[in-house]
């Protein structure tokens, strides 16, 4: 499933190529046939992203909400578009730019109030300039679930998926099994900073490359640049910091990758015991 960096990158591309154009809309697949006419003839005024959700603002207060989910894809054409696939849910066409949307989890029209209500249910998005660290910290601290589980809850922090949680927790040197309610302020600051750095770099560059990520065969000269990771999908390979084999364990139905040494659980402070032979007060 595309994580927040991909959705924000799509929003930037759509603002650059599509905003200001008037589109005709149809649904080759037929599942959006009743809604598509409400977009035809309208100018696209803005495109916004919040976590994994994409919002296209058309004139007249019509909003298109898209969540790609696991199987959704968006294809863009700047001139002559290829014929849509049978799975194309929505096609927005103009003389100079065309968008084809296939297989999304959600594709719906919203009013401005309905969009605001949906976004209010989502957690803070680290890529938003006005995102509140305090609200994000408080939202995580409300649950006893492991921090690795809490990070995938989009109502707490929006836009984080399996890759980003693994890499951010590694960069913050946090055990993925730490109860979110035990998260301390300095821990959260490291985690939030890591998430923002990863998201900003990936939204700009189109790939996730954490600091000190080891090279792969795909990063050799002459090969297309690809994502590179420190721990994600690197089970049994050496940690780039300590060379300990990266571990993989199932957690909440997803594979969790981490370094058992760099991200060892925090030890609880031992309670002071009375000296031998001395009576307790």
Contact 4, 51 (CB under 8 A): yes
The catalytic position among 135, 204, 223, 254 is 254
CA dihedral of residues 154, 157, 163, 166 (deg, nearest 10): -120
274 is catalytic: no
What is the Cα–Cα distance from 66 to 52, expressed in whole angstroms? 9
3 assigned to active site: yes
CB-based contact 27:91 (threshold 8 Å): yes
Selected catalytic residue, list 42, 48, 52, 89: 52
243, 262 contact by CB (below 8 A): no
| CB distance 100 to 107 below 8 Å | no
Answer yes or no: are the C-beta atoms of 180 and 165 closer than 8 Å: no
Catalytic residue selected from 2, 84, 126, 210: 2
- Tell me, rounded to whole angstroms, the distance of Cα 230 from its chain centroid: 18
Task: Kindly state the greatest CA–CA separation across the chain.
Answer: 90
Report the C-alpha gap between 13 and 11 in whole angstroms.
Answer: 5
Distance from C-alpha of 175 to C-alpha of 37, rounded to nearest angstrom: 50
Q: Strand, helix or coil at 130?
A: coil
Here the tokens at position 132 are 């509140």
Query: Is 15 part of the annotated catalytic residue set?
Result: no
52 is annotated as an active-site residue: yes
Which residues are identified as catalytic?
2-3, 52, 254
């Amino acid at each position: 499933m595309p994580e927040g960096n991909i959705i924000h990158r799509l929003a930037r591309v759509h603002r650059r190529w599509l905003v200001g154009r008037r589109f005709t809309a149809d649904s080759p697949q037929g599942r959006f046939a009743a809604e598509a006419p409400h977009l035809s003839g309208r100018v696209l005024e803005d495109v916004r992203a919040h976590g994994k959700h994409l919002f296209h603002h058309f004139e007249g207060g019509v909003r298109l909400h898209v969540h790609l989910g696991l199987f959704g894809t968006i294809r863009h054409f700047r001139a002559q578009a290829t014929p849509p696939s049978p799975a194309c849910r929505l096609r927005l066409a103009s003389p100079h730019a065309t968008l084809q949307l296939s297989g999304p989890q959600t594709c719906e029209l919203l009013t401005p109030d309905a969009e605001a209500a949906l976004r209010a249910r989502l957690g803070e998005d680290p890529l938003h300039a006005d995102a509140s660290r305090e609200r994000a910290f408080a939202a995580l601290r409300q649950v006893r679930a492991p921090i690795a589980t809490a990070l995938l809850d989009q109502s707490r922090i929006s836009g984080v998926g399996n890759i980003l949680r693994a890499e951010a927790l590694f960069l913050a040197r946090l055990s993925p099994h730490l109860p979110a309610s035990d998260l301390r302020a300095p821990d959260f600051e490291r985690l939030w900073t890591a998430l923002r750095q990863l998201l900003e770099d990936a939204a700009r560059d189109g790939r996730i490359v954490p600091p000190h990520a080891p090279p792969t065969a795909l990063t050799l000269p002459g090969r297309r640049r690809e994502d590179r990771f420190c721990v994600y999908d690197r089970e049994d390979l050496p940690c780039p910091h300590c060379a300990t084999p990266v571990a993989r364990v199932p957690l909440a139905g997803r594979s969790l990758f981490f370094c058992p040494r760099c991200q060892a659980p925090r030890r609880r402070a031992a309670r002071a015991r009375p000296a031998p032979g001395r009576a307790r007060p």
